Structure 1
Amino acid sequence: MHLSGTDGPDHGPTLAQLLALIAAGTLDVVVAPRGTGVPVSDVVLHDPGEERDEEVWAATGLVLLAVGVEVASPDAVDVLRAADRAGAAAVVMRRGVRGPGTALLEAAERGRTALLTRRPGQGWTEVLGGLRTALVHSVADGAGGAGGVDGLRLGDLSGLANTVADLVGGAITIEDPQSRVLAYSRMDHEPDPMRRLTILGQEVPRWRVVELRESGFFQTLWNTDDVVRRPADDRYAERLAVAVRHGSEVLGSIWAAADGRPLAEDAVAALRTAGRAAVPHLSHHRTWGRAATRAREGAVHALLAGSTQAAHDVGIVRGRPYAVMVAEVYEGREPAPGDVVQRVLDVLALQAAAYRPGCVTARSGRRLYTLVPAADGETDPARTLLATARSVPRGVVFAGAGPVVTDLAQLPVSREAAELVVRVLGERAARLPAAGAGSQVASYAEVAAEAAVLRLLDRVEPLWGALSGPVHAMLEHDRAHGARYGESVAGYLDAFGDTAAAARHLNVHPNTLRYRLRRARELFGVDLADPAVRLLADVGLRLGRRDG
């Protein structure tokens, strides 16, 4: 890649400013011989292998992302020296496992170009997007901002919403292109019904989206740079909306609604300016919001696996006691569709964030893991949070909390216990459908005996598969012929030998149950009068339920 440049900027955003604006934990400054106050003109992907003629190569003021170059590679020193001769402000390389060698460090200290490394887990596309977004934001700030919304921390959408609300004299909602709420301004007055529904649901109601689409409102909004007005009607206050776009890409929209009083006279002009000023904020959100979420959730999962190195990155306080709560989403007794799972997990994560300062969450498939901080002497910090999981709409939730641990290295113990609780609740629902029709929650102490049984069955299962006997024969017959001998024996055992109670649970006549039990004894030798057979039947039937 041949890069032409000028003698570089005398002022403008500095490397330090860009590094302060991108997500923490993205880049590390290894050596900065001139400090990080050097001005930056642009950020580009750089392939050293494409350079042929150093006479025409200039990179003054550029940050070069050296794709494919690791600091420990033999080429690293040559790449750094070439960037230094070209006047680059900085060069970024992949850190790798070993880190930079002595020769590279010495070359960096003798030159003028800063050496940075990209941390593991960060892609070049994300680094490029983050640095360029920071560059755009810094240039806008250096130009004095736009209409009074400058000075905000990059990506502070809530601050942006409140600032724009002051400018237009109304209530502001910032949405993504799918009409999901990204931020909203503080509420000084009771919101109208549509704003209330949108904020509570964290998205515009689907019927309202259809209405706006079919009326042509969205088509107009997405195809103009100007403000679009929707007059007040009998139901809702007046709305103004402007699309936020970067080139041809729509990043989202800003909506203003009359908030207990008419909008300001210059509301249209203020909202038009806000649409331009919001570009770096929404661009940053799009680039880093998802990446930061993935990095944060990865750090939480690392903690749950026993690594304590990421505690600071997610706000976990060393020495403070925590308990782990696990919630798993179903729809009835069947796995829920993906959109239902995500909506329920969104609600659970919001409940956790509102429950207690310091709660952190991470998702994994249909599960949400929550680290709940405990007060001194508190043994069940997640009890209230567990109770709220019962009321989550649209899904069935099995949620369990593990015991409190005082050492972060013991978080896996609490996690495993919470996962066992979820399994216990799931097996209860499978075994007793009438009792398990809705969401179920419990702490480990409440199901300790059943959890211990699950642990034992996990150990026994491999041995059981290698054995044979009456119970094995009965289960194999049921699978092959669709018979219900095993179900009948399990019902009888669960009812402690009370034939009438077992028959009611199985929804059969007591004589039918007695017949099945007698045939199980005659055909397979499952004699429930024998304590050893009863034990084997209970173990085998519990394991049998695992594979259907």
Structure 2
Amino acid sequence: MVGVRDVVGRVGPTLLRLVAAGGDGAVGDVVIADGGVVAAGDLVLGVGVGAAGAVGLVGECGRRGAAAVLVKPPLAEDPAVLAEAERAAVAVVEVRADTSWAQLVWLLRSVLDAAADESEPADPFGDLFGLADAAAAVVDAPVTIEDANSRVLAYSARQDGTDPARVSTIMGRRVPHDVLARFRSHGVFRELVKGRTVVFVPAQPDGTLPRLVVPIRMGGELLGSMWAVVSGPVPDERAAAFADTAPVVALHLLRRRAREDGARGRSADLVRAALLGEGSGRLAAAELDLGPGPHRVVAIDAHDEGGRLALAARLGAGIGKRTAMGELHGVLYAIVPDEGWPALRSALGDPAGPQAAAGTAVGAGDLARGRAEADEALALLRAGLVGGRVAAHDDVWVVLVLHRAATAIAGAVAGIGPLARLDGSDDWYRDTLHEWLRHPGDPRAAAAALRIHPNTLRYRMSRVSALLAVDLTDPDTRVALLCQLVAERWH
């Protein structure tokens, strides 16, 4: 059995929000307050309940041991309702204002059924394919059901009479980028976002046949769309019938998402435990189905929660099932087989994308070390000590050595010796000495690093030598000065 918090989490914030936790006892069934018999563990839907009735309903549900009362705004935030909920130890859940009660009942019972029967298949694609066939029969045209990212979730029969764009879409399980670009140029997605119930897309000069597109919505959120390949304009009656199938598809998509969210939550917990070194890393790897062989832990610096969720969905779809993801302290982590790291690195290569860094390849029992290495390399990226957007710990070892050495000796070597005599001088004093020491016997290379003429370098070094008043031909003196300068620059 699941609790109220679990049910709200599985349905998701699109439709439900837990306002008062109550006792969070086990949930048994879903009933409607108007005429329903309330029993212990019930989720009670306050259909048509007003402000005064809501307080009485909460009290009655407390006396009968109900798990939660579900009401629409503004009742969920009403002080009198919340005070009664606290007294009666009943949870209060806010239902989004434009949510259909009938659809919510269906969805909640689906979540409870899935929780009660753990052997139920987690993949509802069979139902979606049946719905695609049903929608195709209504519109008399082959149909695809796609999510909000234009990935194909299901498709109907009769696809053999479509066009190359549809064939490529089904073969790749995703609408090709060039096809998406054409539809965007015609404003299709803009119309879907605006709330149009049906969008007709005329035939394209490249041979792409007309489309009839219906958005799939729930609670104001665009969950996806249905695309029918038609021969031409569709009569209004048939188009309306096609649009009427969308709410049923929306319920299936929400049920699918609730199940996937539950699985992702369990996976994220395992990933966090493995990255923190808690429990058995090998057991976590087995439960996550990571497969044999070494793995890389990749830290991705996605700054906002929405960005992390979108990135996780995109990467999870693009780099294969043997990739586990989780979040720690605002950083998204991916555990990927070593041979899959090049593909992930390529997927993260967008110049405008987030910074990301990978640890070295480690065994399943050493994922915490892989995370520490990924964090260290990511810190170098954040500090600008490594160029680009993506780095691997084993590729930036030179920078790591210098940074670790500088961190270790900075306090011990600062403020001693003649280097302090350059304090208060222009920055070019230290820069010139640093490059001269880095390029021993090669003033042209040192000058090139400073972007100055070699004669300018020689002049500046004469000034530096006069201020330091030490023997710069002595090897130990040069090493000591270079250590101090490296510590200053890399710490």
Instruction: Tell me whether the two structures share a fold, i.e. TM-score over 0.5.
Output: yes
Residues 344 and 296 (structure 1 numbering): CA distance in 2 closer, same or farther, change over 3 Å? closer
SS in 1 for 2:298: strand
Q: Give the aligned residue type for 2:187.
A: E
Task: State which of 341, 345, 360 in structure 1 corresponds to 2:324.
Answer: 360
Which residue does the alignment assign to 2:214? 242
* Per-residue Cα deviation, 1:233-286 (whole angstroms, up to 9, x for no partner): 425432222233446x34445231428x88999974663243110333455578
Which residue does the alignment assign to 1:222? 195
Which residue does the alignment assign to 1:471? 419
For residues 109 and 307 of structure 2, the distance between their equivalents in structure 1, rounded to whole angstroms, comes to 42
For residues 361 and 202 of structure 1, the distance between their equivalents in structure 2, rounded to whole angstroms, comes to 30
Residues 1:518 and 2:462 are matched in the alignment: yes
Residues 527 and 175 (structure 1 numbering): CA distance in 2 closer, same or farther, change over 3 Å? farther
Matched length: 425
Which residue does the alignment assign to 2:64? 86
CA contact (8 A) 2:271 2:284 kept: no
Q: Give the aligned residue type for 1:41.
A: V
SS in 2 for 1:306: coil
Give the 5 Å matches for 1:55-134: 59-60=38-39, 63=42, 85-86=63-64, 88=66, 90=67
Give the 5 Å matches for 1:113-512: 135-137=105-107, 162-167=129-134, 168=136, 169-176=141-148, 180-181=149-150, 183-185=152-154, 190-191=164-165, 199-200=175-176, 205=181, 208=184, 211-212=187-188, 217-218=191-192, 222=195, 224=197, 227-235=198-206, 236-246=208-218, 249-258=220-229, 268=239, 271-283=242-254, 297=268, 299-308=270-279, 315-316=287-288, 322-326=294-298, 349-351=316-318, 353-354=319-320, 357-362=321-326, 368-373=332-337, 381=339, 384-385=342-343, 388=346, 392=350, 394-395=352-353, 399-407=357-365, 410-422=366-378, 430=385, 436=387, 441-442=391-392, 444=394, 447-448=396-397, 450-463=399-412, 467-472=415-420, 474=422, 476-477=423-424, 481=426, 483-512=427-456
For residues 337 and 21 of structure 1, the distance between their equivalents in structure 2, rounded to whole angstroms, comes to 23
Measure how far apart 1:359 and its partner are: 1.6
Measure how far apart 1:198 and its partner are: 7.5
Residues 1:541 and 2:485 are matched in the alignment: yes
Measure how far apart 1:306 and its partner are: 1.9
Structure 1 or 2: more helix by fraction: 2
Measure how far apart 1:514 and its partner are: 2.0
Residues 1:40 and 2:37 are matched in the alignment: no
CA contact (8 A) 2:297 2:367 kept: no
Which residue does the alignment assign to 1:7? none
Q: Give the aligned residue type for 1:306.
A: G
CA contact (8 A) 1:344 1:392 kept: no
For residues 184 and 418 of structure 1, the distance between their equivalents in structure 2, rounded to whole angstroms, comes to 34
CA RMSD of aligned residues (A): 5.9
What are the ranges of 5 or more consecutive residues in structure 1 without an aligned counterpart?
A: 1-13, 44-56, 66-80, 93-115, 143-151, 331-335, 374-379
For residues 379 and 110 of structure 2, the distance between their equivalents in structure 1, rounded to whole angstroms, comes to 53
For residues 339 and 515 of structure 1, the distance between their equivalents in structure 2, rounded to whole angstroms, comes to 55
CA contact (8 A) 1:471 1:536 kept: no
Residues 508 and 535 (structure 1 numbering): CA distance in 2 closer, same or farther, change over 3 Å? same
CA contact (8 A) 1:155 1:282 kept: no
Q: Give the aligned residue type for 1:324.
A: R
Residues 23 and 42 (structure 1 numbering): CA distance in 2 closer, same or farther, change over 3 Å? same
For residues 19 and 339 of structure 1, the distance between their equivalents in structure 2, rounded to whole angstroms, comes to 21
Measure how far apart 1:499 and its partner are: 1.3
Q: Give the aligned residue type for 1:412.
A: A
For residues 64 and 337 of structure 1, the distance between their equivalents in structure 2, rounded to whole angstroms, comes to 33
Measure how far apart 1:503 and its partner are: 1.8
CA contact (8 A) 1:396 1:439 kept: yes
* Per-residue Cα deviation, 1:363-415 (whole angstroms, up to 9, x for no partner): 57996532124xxxxxx5455446635854655866433231342xx322122
For residues 198 and 344 of structure 1, the distance between their equivalents in structure 2, rounded to whole angstroms, comes to 17
For residues 30 and 340 of structure 1, the distance between their equivalents in structure 2, rounded to whole angstroms, comes to 30
Residues 499 and 342 (structure 1 numbering): CA distance in 2 closer, same or farther, change over 3 Å? farther
What are the ranges of 5 or more consecutive residues in structure 2 without an aligned counterpart?
A: 12-17, 45-58, 70-88, 113-119
Q: Give the aligned residue type for 2:429.
A: Y
SS in 2 for 1:326: strand
Q: Give the aligned residue type for 2:473.
A: A
